[in-house]
């Protein structure tokens, strides 16, 4: 349980800087800040996945809440407008906790009120509750007004009163069905005992601070169609949903969802607090895609990406005792292999998958290797995936999209003008910020690991001839790698080797040559790589993407889109890289208490971060320079997954 008290919840800057997240297992979510002030266009109380796991729309943005105690009225919500915050309900918050979902304790006018919300798994539904915990004057009537503020828009966009939104609704009993003119699903509000008053007002000029910082449009208008009034002599219960939910099922759905999450923690079997917390965080990225599963790369704006999915899969599923979901994902992606490549992204707008990465496919081999190590299901993998994997190798040998092909030396070359194929993929117009065409170091490490994985799998399946073929390919790659990639001057690995150059930039990509299960490096060289990365790149929150001594280094991830994209892989710290670094650190150090004590120290700042920007989550990136402010997505799948993986190991 995450618990925040005192200034962390009632002081404006602190409570507005802390974001909570609820998800529904199909791509939808509910999210805002502890104060209730939206700081992103992506914040909303019901962001529904209309085409799971994509098609996300902000249907219900937020509530305006007014508590009446006798003759006194108190605004419990908070919004930022030009030059003002109104109302200032954050001042009444005494405690916020994730238990396991968001719960606010509010104290005002002699009344202590508890507000809570959760999302039932598998449904575009948010359940809300307001309940009086204690009251000084038992005779004072206490009522609550809830005013829904609607958006009915794609979650990347903003709403204006001058736009095309038209809303109609009908009320029957305690239920209201709202329809919009923009092709979104109907939105239902259902409750027991609420009095409904039709209004029809626009609230104008909400300001979203993070969007302003990011250099994007940051003001929005929201539509307020009616008021719900509750007598709080009994708890107020309310559903907002794309389906007509029976309000009498509130407590049953809450009990079911609480039980589901408790079972997840029990199944994972972790003893440490950090790992137990992250087990619940991991669940938020695992979503349905058709009859199978996939991984949402990050909240609030990423969809499911091939690279992120394969890197995250061992930590999110195998480390949490959910190999069945790992299997679903591995098999689901096998259906999308094309010309020996895994898709890197399934676009939000329903277009064809994008095949524009060299590493997602290679991470697929490592995910399958980890699955085999965990489950021992060699026959299952052999029957269903072996031909797919062997086909991928053959496509890489003869050449596939974007110049991806094995060269005469057995190493994997990739790249063509204007295309970024590795995870360092920032591009601004036609400008490739981090050009890595040629033979990137981590691609060679992944290729070798894939070939060795195929050698082992073929041997276990009794395919002796094929096993030898994969072994020969791996040995050929290793000989070339040893000759080409060692940088004697820096005592580490080059980042990229091309026909006419060797890039000596000190980047974290070389750590994979040590951390992956099958490594081409000698113990001595592996130790030197870890030492160099530790010296130049390690921070409390992950690895810098470029050494500070490099002329191209940028220490802060800030400014508009151009400035931020320019810094994305030019120094910015990536939390997920802490996982492979710890893996490599363990490999070159004795397996003793001293090593594990140092690992625990490396994870200390991450544990504290769970109480920071994204509560119970790990951010995508951090500034390269102290104090290493978190940036980017406040909840990132591979950040969570890699920490879970190394804790378990």
| Residue with tokens 């305006």, as numbered in its chain | 64
Has residue 87 got a pLDDT over 90? yes
Picking from 329, 454, 335, the residue whose alpha carbon sits closest to that of residue 397 is 454
Question: Do both 177 and 51 map to the same domain?
Answer: yes
**Spacing of C-alpha 38 from chain mean position:** 19
Question: Do both 273 and 255 map to the same domain?
Answer: no
% of the chain beyond a pLDDT of 90 = 88
* Token digits of residue 633: 């997505």
pLDDT tens readout for residues 142-179: 999 999 999 999 999 999 998 878 888 888 777 899 99
Picking from 341, 346, 466, 343, the residue whose alpha carbon sits closest to that of residue 412 is 341
Tell me which DSSP letter residue 172 carries: E
Domain end marker among 236, 259, 282: 259
CATH code, domain with 251? 2.70.98
Number of Cβ atoms within 10 Å of the Cβ of 44: 28
The parent domain of residue 238 ranges over: 2-259
Number of Cβ atoms within 10 Å of the Cβ of 449: 24
- Residue 310 CB contacts under 8 Å (≥ 6 apart), including other chains: 333, 342, 360, 363, 364, 366, 367
Helices (H), 321-418: 323-334, 359-375, 378-384, 386-398
Has residue 272 got a pLDDT over 80? no
Picking from 26, 27, 222, 3, the residue whose alpha carbon sits closest to that of residue 18 is 3
Total domains in the chain come to: 2
Look at residue 331 and give its three-state secondary structure: helix
Tell me which DSSP letter residue 506 carries: -
Is 112:132 a contact under the CB 8 Å cutoff? yes
Question: Do both 369 and 413 map to the same domain?
Answer: yes
Question: Do both 236 and 375 map to the same domain?
Answer: no
**Rounded to whole angstroms, how far apart are CA atoms 641 and 649?**
12
Q: What is the pLDDT of residue 423?
A: 96
Q: What is the pLDDT of residue 346?
A: 74
Question: Do both 334 and 238 map to the same domain?
Answer: no
Number of Cβ atoms within 10 Å of the Cβ of 251: 12
> Which residues are bridge partners to 492 per DSSP?
487
Is 40:32 a contact under the CB 8 Å cutoff? no
Q: Write the CA distances from 511 to 139, 267, 521, integer angstroms.
A: 67, 32, 11
Is 282:640 a contact under the CB 8 Å cutoff? yes
**Rounded to whole angstroms, how far apart are CA atoms 344 and 353?**
7
pLDDT tens readout for residues 360-375: 999 999 999 999 999 9
- Residue 210 CB contacts under 8 Å (≥ 6 apart), including other chains: 39, 40
Q: Is residue 264 part of a domain?
A: no
pTM: 0.95
Has residue 273 got a pLDDT over 70? yes
Look at residue 468 and give its three-state secondary structure: helix
Q: What is the pLDDT of residue 407?
A: 96
Half-sphere exposure of residue 256: CA atoms within 13 angstroms, side-chain side: 10
Q: What is the pLDDT of residue 489?
A: 96
Domain end marker among 259, 289, 319: 259
Q: Cα angle vertex 530, ends 527, 536, to 5°?
A: 140
Q: Which one has a higher pLDDT value, 22 or 183? A: 22
Q: What share of the chain is helix, strand, coil (3-state, %, to 5)?
A: 35, 30, 35
Question: Do both 243 and 274 map to the same domain?
Answer: no
pLDDT tens readout for residues 566-581: 999 999 999 999 999 9
Helices (H), 284-358: 306-316, 323-334
pLDDT tens readout for residues 443-464: 999 999 999 999 999 999 999 9
Number of Cβ atoms within 10 Å of the Cβ of 416: 11
Q: Cα angle vertex 437, ends 431, 439, to 5°?
A: 160
**Rounded to whole angstroms, how far apart are CA atoms 103 and 118?**
9
Q: Is residue 143 part of a domain?
A: yes
Question: Do both 497 and 549 map to the same domain?
Answer: yes
Mean pLDDT value of segment 124-133: 98
Is 513:445 a contact under the CB 8 Å cutoff? yes
Question: Do both 349 and 406 map to the same domain?
Answer: yes
Q: What is the pLDDT of residue 121?
A: 97
Look at residue 565 and give its three-state secondary structure: helix
Has residue 349 got a pLDDT over 70? no
Number of Cβ atoms within 10 Å of the Cβ of 137: 12
Q: What is the pLDDT of residue 292?
A: 87
* Token digits of residue 15: 């409570």
pLDDT tens readout for residues 33-51: 999 999 999 999 999 999 9
Q: Is residue 20 part of a domain?
A: yes
Question: Do both 569 and 639 map to the same domain?
Answer: yes
**Rounded to whole angstroms, how far apart are CA atoms 36 and 85?**
11
* Token digits of residue 485: 């990639």
Question: Do both 248 and 286 map to the same domain?
Answer: no
Q: Is residue 367 part of a domain?
A: yes
Domain end marker among 259, 277, 292: 259
Q: What is the pLDDT of residue 193?
A: 87
Q: Is residue 584 part of a domain?
A: yes
Question: Do both 251 and 400 map to the same domain?
Answer: no
Q: Cα angle vertex 299, ends 298, 305, to 5°?
A: 30
Q: Write the CA distances from 8 to 388, 615, 631, integer angstroms.
A: 52, 12, 19
Tell me which DSSP letter residue 205 carries: E
> Which residues are bridge partners to 295 per DSSP?
286
- For 129-193, the DSSP string reads EEEEEEES-TTS-EEEEEEEEEEEEETTS---TTSS--EEEEEETTEEEEEESSSPPPEEEEESS
Q: Is residue 306 part of a domain?
A: yes
**Rounded to whole angstroms, how far apart are CA atoms 291 and 283?**
18
Mean pLDDT value of segment 372-394: 96
Q: What is the mean pLDDT of the chain?
A: 95
Number of Cβ atoms within 10 Å of the Cβ of 574: 27
**Spacing of C-alpha 127 from chain mean position:** 23
Mean pLDDT value of segment 186-203: 92
Confidence band of 133 (pLDDT split at 50, 70, 90): very high
Question: Do both 187 and 287 map to the same domain?
Answer: no
Confidence band of 347 (pLDDT split at 50, 70, 90): low
**Rounded to whole angstroms, how far apart are CA atoms 39 and 618?**
18
Q: Is residue 118 part of a domain?
A: yes
| Residue with tokens 């591009």, as numbered in its chain | 427
**Spacing of C-alpha 416 from chain mean position:** 29
CATH code, domain with 281? 1.50.10.10
Q: Is residue 540 part of a domain?
A: yes
Whether residue 502 has a cis bond before it, omega within 30° of 0:
no
Q: What is the pLDDT of residue 520?
A: 98
- In the chain, DSSP finds a helix count (H) and a strand count (E) of 18, 37
Has residue 271 got a pLDDT over 90? no
**Rounded to whole angstroms, how far apart are CA atoms 630 and 605?**
12
């Amino acid at each position: 349980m995450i618990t925040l008290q005192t200034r962390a919840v009632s002081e404006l800057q602190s409570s507005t800087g802390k974001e909570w997240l609820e998800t529904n297992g199909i791509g939808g979510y509910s999210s805002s800040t502890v104060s209730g002030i939206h700081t992103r266009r992506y914040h909303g109380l019901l962001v529904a996945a209309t085409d799971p796991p994509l098609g996300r729309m902000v249907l219900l943005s937020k509530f305006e809440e007014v508590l009446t105690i006798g003759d006194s009225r108190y605004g419990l919500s908070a919004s930022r407008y030009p030059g003002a915050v109104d109302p200032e309900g954050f001042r009444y918050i005494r405690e916020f906790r994730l238990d396991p979902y968001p719960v606010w304790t509010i104290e005002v006018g002699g009344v202590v009120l508890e507000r809570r919300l959760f999302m039932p798994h598998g449904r575009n539904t948010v359940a809300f509750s307001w309940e009086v915990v204690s009251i000084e004057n038992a005779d004072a009537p206490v009522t609550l007004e809830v005013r829904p503020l609607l958006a009915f828009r794609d979650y990347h966009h903003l709403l204006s009163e001058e736009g095309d939104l038209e809303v109609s609704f009908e009320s029957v009993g305690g239920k209201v069905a709202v329809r919009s003119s923009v092709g979104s699903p109907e939105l239902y509000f259902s409750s027991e005992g609420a009095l409904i008053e039709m209004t029809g007002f626009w609230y104008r000029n909400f300001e979203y601070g993070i969007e302003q910082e990011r250099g994007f449009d940051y003001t929005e208008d929201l539509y307020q169609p009616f008021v719900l009034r509750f007598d709080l002599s009994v708890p107020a219960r309310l559903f907002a949903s794309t389906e007509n939910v029976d309000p009498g099922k509130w407590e049953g759905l809450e009990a079911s969802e609480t039980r589901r999450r408790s079972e997840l923690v029990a199944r994972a079997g972790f003893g440490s607090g950090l790992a137990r917390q992250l087990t619940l965080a991991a669940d938020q990225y695992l979503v349905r895609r058709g009859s199978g599963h996939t991984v949402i790369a990050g909240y609030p704006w990423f969809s499911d990406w091939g690279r992120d999915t394969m890197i995250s899969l061992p930590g999110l599923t195998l480390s949490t005792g959910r190999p069945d979901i790992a299997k679903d994902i591995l098999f689901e992606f096998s259906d999308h292999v094309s010309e020996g490549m895994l898709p890197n992204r399934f676009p939000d707008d329903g277009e064809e998958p994008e095949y524009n990465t060299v590493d997602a496919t290679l991470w697929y081999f490592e995910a399958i290797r980890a699955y085999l190590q965990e489950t021992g299901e060699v026959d299952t993998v052999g029957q269903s995936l072996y031909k797919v994997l062997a086909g991928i190798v053959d496509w890489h040998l003869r050449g596939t999209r974007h110049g991806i092909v094995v060269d005469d030396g057995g190493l994997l070359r990739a790249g063509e003008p204007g295309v970024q194929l590795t995870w360092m993929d920032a591009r601004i117009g036609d400008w490739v910020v981090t050009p890595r065409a040629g033979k990137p170091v981590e691609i060679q490490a992944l290729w070798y690991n894939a070939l060795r994985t195929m050698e082992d799998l073929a041997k276990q399946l009794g395919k002796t001839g094929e096993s030898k073929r994969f072994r020969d390919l791996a040995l050929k790659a290793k000989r070339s790698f040893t000759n080409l990639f060692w940088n004697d001057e820096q005592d580490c690995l080059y980042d990229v080797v091309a026909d006419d150059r060797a890039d000596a930039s000190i980047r974290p990509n070389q750590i994979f040559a040590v951390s992956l299960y099958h490594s081409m490096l000698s113990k001595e060289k592996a130790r030197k790589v870890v030492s160099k990365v530790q010296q130049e790149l390690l921070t409390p929150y992950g690895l810098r993407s470029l050494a500070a001594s490099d002329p191209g280094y940028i220490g802060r991830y800030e400014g508009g889109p151009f400035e931020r994209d320019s810094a994305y892989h030019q120094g910015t710290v990536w939390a997920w890289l802490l996982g492979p670094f710890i893996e490599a650190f363990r490999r070159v150090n004795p397996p003793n208490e001293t090593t594990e004590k140092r690992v625990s120290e490396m994870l200390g700042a991450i544990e504290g971060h769970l109480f920071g920007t994204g509560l119970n989550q790990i951010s995508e990136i951090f500034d390269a320079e102290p104090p290493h402010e978190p940036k980017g997505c406040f909840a990132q799948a591979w950040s969570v997954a890699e920490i879970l993986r190394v804790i378990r190991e």
